[in-house]
């Protein structure tokens, strides 16, 4: 298993769950959750870029991140990735960065 790889069973379990998130009075259905908890730069940015590259227009992706530098770096990336930052929610010990593919 490589440095940046994860077990396939973990990915399948995440894909099976359908979640929604409410931001500024609007509810969005998540297409994918990118869990980069415990990871530092540049992995959260790279995994976000990879997820958006595979996403269809309109797909909403949640990035779970606990690294403050990565949390601050993701929203400015959206313009170059043809995506929109919908919001960032603080949850207990991590942030939920919500983005949508344009």
Q: What predicted TM-score, i.e. pTM, was given to this entire model?
A: 0.82
Q: Which domains are delineated in the chain?
A: 8-101 (3.30.110.40)
Burial (CB count within 10 angstroms: exposed 0-12, middle 13-18, buried 19+), residue 55: buried
Q: Give 63's strand partners.
A: 34, 97
Q: Are 87 and 23 in contact (CB under 8 A)?
A: yes
Q: How far apart are CA 64 and CA 66, in angstroms?
A: 7
Q: How far apart are CA 7 and CA 99, in angstroms?
A: 24
Q: 39-55: per-residue pLDDT in tens?
A: 999 999 999 999 999 99
Handedness of CA 100, 14, 41, 2 (dihedral sign): negative
Q: Which residue has the higher pLDDT, 34 or 4?
A: 34
Q: 61-97: per-residue pLDDT in tens?
A: 999 999 999 999 999 999 999 999 999 999 999 999 9
């Amino acid at each position: 298993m490589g440095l940046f790889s994860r077990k396939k069973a973990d990915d399948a379990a995440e894909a099976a769950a359908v979640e929604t998130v409410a931001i500024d009075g609007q509810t969005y259905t998540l297409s994918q959750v990118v869990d980069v908890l415990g990871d530092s730069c540049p992995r959260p940015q790279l995994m976000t870029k990879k997820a958006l590259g595979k996403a269809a227009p309109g797909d909403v992706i949640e990035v779970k991140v606990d690294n403050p530098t990565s949390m601050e770096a993701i929203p400015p990336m959206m313009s170059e990735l043809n995506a929109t930052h919908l919001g960032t929610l603080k949850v207990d010990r991590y942030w939920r960065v919500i983005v949508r593919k344009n």
